[in-house]
Structure 1
Amino acid sequence: MKQCCLLIIACVAALYSHAQQIHGRIADNSTKEALPGAVVSVLHNSKGCVCDEKGAFSLATGTADSVRISCVGYIPRQLPVAAMGRATVVYLEPLAANLNEIIVSSSRDKQYRTDAPVAISTISPQTLQETKATTLDRVLNKVSGVYMVDLGNEQHTMAIRQPIGYKSLFLYLEDGIPIRTVGDFNHNALIEINMAALRNIEVIRGPASSLYGSEAVGGAVNFITLSPTLVPTAKVQAEMSNWGYKRTDFSASGTSGKWGAVISGYYANQSNGYMDHSDFHKLGLSLKTVYQASPKTKWTNAATLINYHTDQIGGLDSAHFYSKDYRNFQTFTYRDVQALRIRSTLEQDWNATNSTSFTAFYRHSDIGQNPFYSIKSTSNPLKANGQINSDAFHSYGLIVQHKKRFSWKDAAFIAGASLDYSPATYHAGFITIDKNAAGYYTGYQQTDSVLTDYKVGLLNTAAYAQFELSPVNNMRVVAAMRYDRMDYNFVNHLTPSAYTGAPSERNNFNALTPKLGLTYNLGRNRGLYANYSRGFAPPNISDLYQGVKVPVLQQATYNNYEVGGWFGFGHNKGYADISLYRMTGTNEIISVQQADGSYMNQNTGATLHRGIEWNVKYNLLKSLFIRTSGTYALHTFDAYFDGSKTFDNNRMNGAPLWITNSEITWKPALLKGFRLGGEWQHIGSYYMDPANTAMYGGYDLFNLRAGYGYRSFECWINCMNVGDRLYATTAEKSAYGVTYRVGPRQTFNFGIAYTFTGKK
């Protein structure tokens, strides 16, 4: 009888234990992506578990009635066990101001922000979704030290720890892979980004060449794309503006078993805007698949296609600019971009301390244009000359990286190698242009005259390594080194001349770029960092082979020293970070006028860049969030000689002293789903020429954004340039006068979206 009672008690206990075994998955409420590493723990108990790579968990809760779910960067949740038993997926809300974010750009691997001794900022999925930006500058300009210059219709240039310019000093990456090849830089490269496919953006300020190689001088911008969602989702949205802009976005995503996929894209069209001859259209499509073969093996494939065409508009002279005469001098200039990127990445965790990734990629880009900046006057006032050109390349590349972790001093070693072969071509044909008495270019005629026709075989091979450890408690030391070799095989299909280019030749460049940094955790969400890093930029194709009198150029080199720190406010209310830097540039390539009046590229430039950058995010109240970021920077010439004048110690042209961006957002608790935000963008005054003879006063812009989400629906209205301020995104002075690039007028964007979220 006693044995029978014990058996009954054991069965009841087993049934009770089974009833208290909970299962589920944890996901990001913003992106619906799984949250591996999230912790599910029993309240007032030591029991707990960590979610696997699919965000799944299984936990025996015993007699407990509640559990706590937490993850770095998210607001913790406390739920009854009974509710967990019914829930298939539990969603966590991201923190509005998270100091210790997970980043990947600083070391090509996941790490905490406070372990990275660099100035790095993240634009979160929540910021991307709430900003509803129609161009990337409207989110990137929220980052301290960044001024992405709007040149119209998604055309742009960049200024990060550098003046406004068009040099190859910035590296643009998609999931850690440069979107263009070395030696064929284009300041409009971000036209080739599919904005609808973005999850978040990471911005490294200062040189990042020790991991990413050339052109990562002023900074590196890594666009991280969406991953498949944990549950089936689909979204469609449409918007329009008062200036003829229309756009439709879509996405669909989900995971079934070991496979996950996400497809996303958008089509934008601009017609009949306030600026004459300013129409454009763009189609962006992206597909990503993820195969989680096992907890230790993941295979990712991704492809992006871009089809873009825009009318080209140049700057206005003073008379047209200040009288708000938006007629364009050019009526036929255009830019056409076709791009395709494909990559395949295999990630393998061999054991708890070793992991390897293999990435193969293919890129193709073809930029065809009838550029306004190539139009030249002739002795006939009613005639001009120009060109229609095409710049294209194909890339075939491979990146292999291995990471080894050690128990000693929490050390880690990362080593990698890359190979990128990119044959590139350039062709330019001569055109004659008609001009009327008022100075407007009205039409053109193509000829059979070829100005330029060449091919360049670009080969970039590189190896890099990074070692990090904690020699003492709370300190992290990082040392990195990269070696790059770049080979240019130039073949001129025409007889060399000032127009057709240099004679056929081979050139090679190599660079060794180190980085040394440390972070020190002071406790209570406070810390300091310092680093030294070097960046380099090899001559671009156009620098080396444009004109017959081309000297042997060297790559420009930049040495950067910086210190900084961060301070977190209590109870996850926000944080502040600050960085101070000093960077010197040598062997910078400058177009120097010769005695015969011609121009030739030479390594004669030396510059000095100093500045302070700050970023503050704070939840003033539960429903009120404020953010401010900015930079004060002084960019000067140490050596600059244009062939006739010396500009040593002058401030560099296009270099504002002050750049700030501040924002306040209100999300009232009584009206869940509503948001109202106001933003102030300030660009300080700067000189328009190296001689410092003319200054542009800068500008202040105010933007308002409002949105409301109810269940699966969302609507919004954004008002950019609230006061309809006349301003120029760039202002330049040359021998031909002052040119202003007109900034967008007051613009209202209206949009509506519907999101379907399935259950699983």
Structure 2
Amino acid sequence: MSKKLFGLLCFQLFSFTLFSQNVTVLDAFSGEPIEAVTLNSNHPKIATVTNSKGEATLTDFKDAKKIYIRCLGFETQIISYNQIEKNNFTLYLNPENTSLNEVIISTSKWQETKKSIPNSIVTFKMKDIQLMNPQTSADLLNNTGKVFVQKSQLGGGSPMIRGFATNRVLLNVDGIRMNNAIFRSGNIQNVVSIDANSIQNTEVILGPGTVIYGSDAIGGVMNFYTFEPEYAKEHPFYSGNALSRWSSANNEKTIHFDLNVGTSKWAFVTSATVSDYEDLRMGKHGPRAYTRPDFVQTIDNVDEIQTNNNPNIQVETGYSQINLLQKIAFKPNEYWNFIYAFHYSTTSDFNRYDQLLRRRNDVLRFAEWYYGPQEWTMHHLKISHSKPNKWFDKAQFNASYQLFEESRHNRNLNATLRNSNIENVGAFSSNFDFIKKINDKHKLSYGVEYIHNKVNSEGFQTSLLTDEREAIPSRYPDGSNWQSLATYLQYENKINQKFTFQSGFRFNQIWLDATFDSSFVDYPFEKTTINTSAFTGSLGFTYLATDKTALFFNTGTAFRSPNIDDIGKTYESTPGNVVVPNANLEYEYAYNFEVGILQKIAQSVALDLTGFYTIVEDALVRRNFTFNGATTIIFQGEESNVQAIQNAAKANVYGIQAGLNIELSPILNWKTNANWTKGEEELDNGNKAPLRHAAPFFGDSRLQLKTRNWTTDLSVIYNSKIKSKNLAPSEIEKEYLYALDSNGQPYVPSWYTINLKALYKLDKNWSFSGGIENITDQRYRPYSSGITAAGRNLILAVRTSF
């Protein structure tokens, strides 16, 4: 009897092996398995989904003439069972170049498809990062083709979006805002603290995001999502990557390592990147005004001006950086998930290169002007709950504490005293966010947020001769506080399959208090407080005219509340001008309108086009001021004109952003981006002047070739000219940054670069990438930048996965 049973079991096992068949679905270019691919047939009516290995059982599909194979981000295939059989039960899906079904997180903090969002969104995924090989996160943003990046030094990058920058655009890391109470109106370089090698995905909202994100999100929101710990689906596992990269223009040496360890309930991610950059070499062909003919060298406390043997080398631009990331995740059951994350970034001292170019009486002004280490630490706890109830379907809690430390040090040529300012900002934030799907048509997302920033600031002078320190005025009032409490609600109504309506509002209460030290400066006030509230809202819709055409319209308001930098800073803004505190400030308020279209033509052409118009009232701008009744004061031993931040302007910004993507063949793709922005700002006399952060016309065009092992990208990046008459008044004051036209006036020449990048996957473990940037060795300086861009730059990198 047992022999018969054993024989029967063997026969059934043989029959199952013979008559059941698994199909494997792979990415046509990477060759990697694709999870969550749906395969369904109407005759017979059956469906299945691939597992983590890209496999699905086709036993019940044997008589199917049409099997529909679908996956987000990939082109749909329709194929018969017999054709799959002829392909040895292996299928390859081609990634979509532009998909209306792309999943976006940024606009509501929850996953949504692109076709339901009435906003312009730019995404940049890990595969794009690996191909482009950016040195920093600022360079990553620059590669999107829709964000303009200004640099004051090599260790920097200040994004400009739709005519706004600095404290009018918002930086987020894993949903936590980096903007703090001393983010200034001048160019901000904090984005480089985010490690480009640990970013999993980047999403940029072009336009206001205040309803969800609060103050500062007037021009746009940049969301960086770093590595997430991955749990084991079956057995415990580990995986990781190691990267080594070298670049010739600044002799970059970067080493990166990341490791993921996962079990069914615990997961860990560790990431570390170390980079060292030497002095940057500019190109040979361009304005001579950008070269570095001389520099200051200090030997035994004696300053000497040295002739630069190679004026194309930007002496004193090099620096080094370390980035660390650790995440620990715990999933006790299917409803709860806990993640703790630790981020740390630090740099060496690095020079404020644009200040080292400044001259007085045709002689270099500064012997020293450098930042101390720029340190950023973040502790972040995220708790997610996904068991639906009558109040929410999903909920998440975020709490974080960040510590920012930065310092500024400068000394005039031949001076024996060095001026230093050191700032520390402790930033606590907490968010509760919820989403509730009322039915198939109605959905709500809502939440509350609290933020508290405390600013500590000190100033001192150090004698080079005796090393003795003496206190001087701090940059900010020490012990200042900035707080925000807000609630928001966003409503979505899917009226039908084609029309989706979305609206929302946010109520924000802001408090600020600062006490001024009159030991060094006779301030006309002892203390200032702000207690104000702002109400913002948005209204938009998307219309799916066809499955290949999406139209959207969005209108909304945004605001930026004065921070400690606006209200309490004392510093030299431009040569001969010093900014002093102003206790009488209100928030600035913006009104935005935009309309856009996403259009697919057949399967090979995709177009996106957006027009926008933004009005800012009570804009916070730097203008002439009186201090204790005087229009000039003595600052650091010099008589300077007095200025202050004031609600003194109205600004208008409008423009067009366009993108075109053409699939020339299954392996050859061409895409281009173009951005035109016009900005105007009201002056004290009622006249209008160009807006400082409205970038020139810029864009890129790329031809990409993708095969199973190779990805190649040939690109042209271009910027238009800005005539002297079209420069903002504050930029004209910085003549030392610009080329001079035939009339001896500062202007921005047009420029372009030709670039070639390539990525070769040897196998599933090893890949090699490299390229040549600025092939024609152009000498150019992006608008408002203090450092000239890299000349011809050879990049080589090797990555191994395990």
Q: Specify if TM > 0.5.
A: yes
- 1:189-212 superposed Cα distances (whole Å, 9 cap, x missing partner): 212212111011101011100100
Match of 1:729 among 751, 758, 782: 782
Q: CA deviation at 1:695?
A: 3.0
Could you say which residue in structure 2 is the equivalent of 1:172? 171
**Which amino acid in the other structure matches residue 649 of structure 1?**
K
Question: SS in structure 2 opposite 1:232?
Answer: strand
Q: Aligned equivalents of 1:22 and 1:469: distance in 2?
A: 43
Matching residue of 1:449: 471
> Distance in 1 between the 2:750 and 2:259 partners?
42
Confirm or deny that 1:74 pairs with 2:74. Answer: yes
Partner residue in 2 for 1:196? 197
Distance, in Å, in 1 between the alignment partners of 2:131 and 2:448 is 38
Instruction: Indicate how the Cα distance of structure 1 residues 422 and 594 shifts in structure 2: closer, same or farther if over 3 A, else same.
Output: closer
Task: Write the distance in 1 (CA, Å) between the matches of 2:239 and 2:74.
Answer: 21
Aligned equivalents of 1:255 and 1:33: distance in 2?
20
1:241 aligns with 247
Counting only pairs closer than 5 Å after superposition, residues 159-308 of structure 1 correspond to structure 2 as 159-162=160-163, 167-182=166-181, 184=183, 187-229=188-230, 232-242=238-248, 243-273=250-280, 274-308=313-347
The 3-state SS of whatever aligns with 1:396 is strand
User: Quick one: distance in 1 between partners of 2:198 and 2:12?
Assistant: 50
Any stretches of 5+ residues in structure 2 without a counterpart? 281-312, 571-579, 632-641, 733-744
CA contact (8 A) 1:198 1:223 kept: yes
Structure 1 pair 578/16, CA: closer, same or farther in 2 (3 Å)?
same
**Distance in 2, Cα, partners of 1:335 & 1:470:** 52
> Alpha-carbon deviation of 1:86?
11
Instruction: Report the AA paired with residue 503 of structure 1.
Output: E
Corresponding residue of 2:798: 753
Deviation at 1:459, TM superposition (A): 1.9
Is 480-489 or 659-668 further displaced after alignment? 659-668
Question: Once the 2 structures are TM-superposed, how far is the Cα of residue 541 of structure 1 from its aligned partner?
Answer: 0.7
* 2:588 alignment partner AA: A
* Preserved contact between residue 480 and residue 515 of structure 1 (Cα < 8 Å): yes
Match of 1:588 among 619, 642, 647: 619
Paired AA for residue 286 in structure 1: L
Instruction: Point out the more displaced range, 260-269 or 35-44.
Output: 35-44
For residue 679 of structure 2, the aligned residue among 607, 610, 635 is: 635
Q: Which residue is 1:737 aligned to?
A: none
What is the SS of the residue equivalent to 1:723? coil
- Describe the SS at the equivalent of 2:115: helix
Kindly indicate whether the alpha-carbon contact (under 8 Å) linking 2:714 and 2:754 is maintained by their aligned counterparts in 1.
Answer: no
Question: Contact 2:696–2:719 at 8 Å: present in 1 too?
Answer: no
Matches within 5 A, 1:294-693: 294-315=333-354, 330-331=367-368, 333-351=370-388, 354-371=392-409, 382-383=414-415, 387-407=419-439, 410-431=441-462, 447-452=469-474, 454-492=478-516, 494-495=517-518, 498=521, 503-546=526-569, 550-571=582-603, 573-594=604-625, 596-597=630-631, 598-637=642-681, 639-641=682-684, 646=685, 648-653=687-692, 655-667=694-706, 672-685=709-722, 687-690=726-729
Q: Give the match for residue 705 of structure 1.
A: 757
Sort the Cα spacing of 1:726 and 1:416 in 2 relative to 1 into closer, same or farther, 3 A: same
- After superposition, give the CA deviation of every residue in 1:134-172 in whole Å (9 maximum; x if it has no partner): 123433224354201233334021211115x6x410100
Matched position secondary structure for 2:268: strand
Deviates more, 1:605-614 or 1:483-492: 483-492
Distance in structure 2 (CA, Å) of the matches to 1:411 and 1:743: 52
In the alignment, the residues of structure 2 paired with residue 344 and residue 699 of structure 1 have an alpha-carbon distance, to the nearest angstrom, of 45
The Cα shift of 1:74 comes to: 2.5
Which one-letter code corresponds to 1:715 in the other structure?
F
Q: CA deviation at 1:357?
A: 2.5
Structure 1 residue 233 displacement after superposition = 2.3
Q: Secondary structure at the match of 1:305?
A: strand
Q: Which string of whole-angstrom CA distances, capped at 9 and with x for unpartnered residues, describes residues 215-250 of structure 1?
A: 111100000122245663221111222232111111
Query: Aligned partners of 1:75, 1:232: CA distance in 2, in Å?
Result: 31
Q: 1:134 to 1:200 in 2, by over 3 A?
A: same
Q: Give the Cα separation in 1 of the matches to 2:592 and 2:467.
A: 49
Measured in 1, the distance between the counterparts of 2:117 and 2:22 equals: 35
What displacement does 1:9 show? 10
1:612-643 deviation per Cα after TM superposition (whole angstroms, max 9, x unaligned):
11112222122221111121121112x222xx
Q: Which amino acid aligns with 2:778?
A: R
Supply the AA of the counterpart residue of 1:721. Answer: N
Q: Is the Cα–Cα contact under 8 Å of residues 580 and 613 in structure 1 kept in the other structure? A: yes
Question: Equivalent residue of 2:400, what SS?
Answer: strand
Which residue type is aligned with residue 397 of structure 2? T
Deviation of the 1:755 alpha carbon: 2.4
Counterpart of 2:459, as a letter, is A
Q: Is the 8 A contact 1:179 1:363 kept in 2?
A: no
- How many Å separate the matches in 1 of 2:120 and 2:381? 30
- 2:302 corresponds to: none
Distance change (3 Å), C-alpha of 1:676 and 1:109: closer
Partner Cα distance (1:352, 1:683) in 2: 55
Which whole-Å CA distance do the structure 1 matches of 2:319 and 2:357 have between them?
Answer: 26
SS in 1 for 2:45: coil
Within-5 A mapping of 1:44-123: 45-50=44-49, 61-62=59-60, 64=62, 70-75=70-75, 94-123=95-124
**Distance (Å, rounded) in 2 between the aligned partners of 1:56 and 1:674:** 23
Structure 2 counterpart of 1:349, which letter? S
Q: Is 1:135 aligned with 2:136?
A: yes
Post-superposition shift, 1:509? 2.7
Q: Distance in 2 between matches of 1:348 and 1:132?
A: 36
Q: Distance in 1 between matches of 2:436 and 2:33?
A: 25
Return the alpha-carbon distance in structure 2 between the equivalents of residues 33 and 344 of structure 1. Answer: 32
Whichever residue aligns with residue 59 of structure 2, its letter is: T
1:37–1:55 CA contact under 8 A, matched in 2: no
Shift of 1:32: 11
* CA distance in 2 between partners of 1:27 and 1:153 (Å): 41
SS in 2 for 1:389: strand
Q: Is the 8 A contact 1:33 1:228 kept in 2?
A: no
Gaps of 5+ in 1: 434-442, 732-739
The 8 Å contact of residues 287 and 302 in structure 1, kept in 2 or not, is answered as yes
Q: Aligned partners of 2:358 and 2:346: how far apart in 1?
A: 36
How many angstroms apart in 1 are the aligned matches of 2:788 and 2:554?
37
1:414 Cα shift?
0.8
Q: Distance in 2 between matches of 1:444 and 1:515?
A: 60
Going from structure 1 to structure 2, the CA distance change for 1:544 and 1:63 (only over 3 Å counts) comes to: closer
Query: Aligned-pair distance for 1:539?
Result: 1.2
Once the two structures are superposed, what CA deviation does each residue of 1:228-282 show, in whole Å capped at 9, x if it has no partner?
4566322111122223211111112243223333222211001344311122111
Aligned length: 711
Find the residue that maps to 2:129 and give its secondary structure: helix
SS at match of 2:761: strand
Of stretches 11-20 and 521-530 in structure 1, the one that deviates more from structure 2 is: 11-20
Distance in 1 between residues matched to 2:88 and 2:261, nearest whole Å: 23
Supply the distance in 1 between the matched residues of 2:787 and 2:217 (Cα, whole angstroms). Answer: 29
Does the 8 A contact of 1:501 with 1:546 survive in 2?
no
CA contact (8 A) 1:24 1:84 kept: no
Question: What is the TM-score of this pair, normalised by structure 2?
Answer: 0.79
Distance in 1 (alpha carbons) for counterparts of 2:141 and 2:449: 28
Partner of 1:152: 153
Q: In structure 1, what is the Cα distance between the partners aligned to 2:196 and 2:523?
A: 37
Corresponding residue to 1:695 among 747, 760, 766: 747
With over 3 angstroms needed to count, the CA separation of the structure-2 counterparts of 1:153 and 1:630, relative to structure 1, is same
Identity %: 16
- Tell me whether 303-312 or 199-208 shows the greater mean CA deviation: 303-312
The separation in 2 between residues aligned to 1:463 and 1:30, in whole angstroms, is 45
Asked if 2 retains the 8 angstrom alpha-carbon contact of 1:430 and 1:451, the reply is: no
What is the Cα deviation at residue 744 of structure 1?
2.3
Distance 1:259 1:42, change over 3 A: farther
Is contact 1:249-1:266 (8 Å) kept?
Answer: yes
